[in-house]
Amino acid sequence: MTSRVWYMVCICGLASYLSGCGRSGYGPMQGAYYKDPHVDLRGLGNVAFLELANTTGYPEVARQVTEVSYAALQKRQQFGIKVVLSDDPTWRTLDVRSDLLPQPQACAAIRKALDCNGLLTGVVTEYRPFPHLMIGLRMRLLDLRDGRVVWAMEQIWDASDRHTASRIKDYIQGQTRASKGSMAEQLASISTLEFLRFVAYEISRTL
């Protein structure tokens, strides 16, 4: 599927979402993701999560985001999930890329080879390391049984943005209630890994 078609899928999905579907979703991410209101994601059973593609100059970040997102999605327990890394021999035999939606005729082969009903893919579109932490992601979840996109997300998180910083603060408070030091100190010293865990947490809340 071409990038143009992919963007049309997202635009149509977001329009449906904003018109009244899924109002009970995760507030801070509203407008940045689409979730099919007619699909119970728990019905997917098992989902294969392909290691994210990467268009940045930081080759290690895609695997880091994949790993923390996997952990966050496991905690949500919406469906069974397994990671398929880019060096997995099974992946190499399939006609699938993490930055592109597979062709409809490939869905059956992917489903059989990876033993799953859902395929989670995406790409790291932007990244800046500490001290100016920023990351852009585009992800989507495909139901391999019928080839439909049932969830999609595109967002940029910038730690210097006031609204993002406020959400990071809330996240840290929830994760480290017993930690020592002031909140200002914790925010000033937030690690790259902790920032990525925050991003993964927000993604997981939309599913």
State the 10-residue block means of pLDDT for the chain, 207 residues long.
Answer: 44 44 65 93 96 97 98 95 95 88 90 97 96 95 96 96 90 69 57 93 95
Please tell me the pTM assigned to this model: 0.83
Residue 179 is predicted with a pLDDT of 56
Residue 103 is predicted with a pLDDT of 86
* Backbone phi and psi for residue 124, each to the nearest 5 degrees, phi listed first: -85, 115
d(CA 29, CA 120): 18
DSSP 51-92: PPEE-SS-TTHHHHHHHHHHHHHHHHTSSEEEEE-TT-HHHH
Nearest CA-CA partner of 207 in 62, 22, 16, 50: 22
Residue 58 is predicted with a pLDDT of 97
CA 40 from centroid of its chain's CA atoms: 18
CB 124 within 8 A of CB 136: yes
Residue 202 is predicted with a pLDDT of 96
Cα distances (angstroms) measured from residue 172 to each of 51, 73, 128, 197, 203: 26, 18, 21, 10, 16
Other C-beta atoms closer than 10 Å to the C-beta of 202 total 22
Residue 3 is predicted with a pLDDT of 45
Domains of the chain: 3-158 (3.40.50.10610)
Amino acid at 114: L
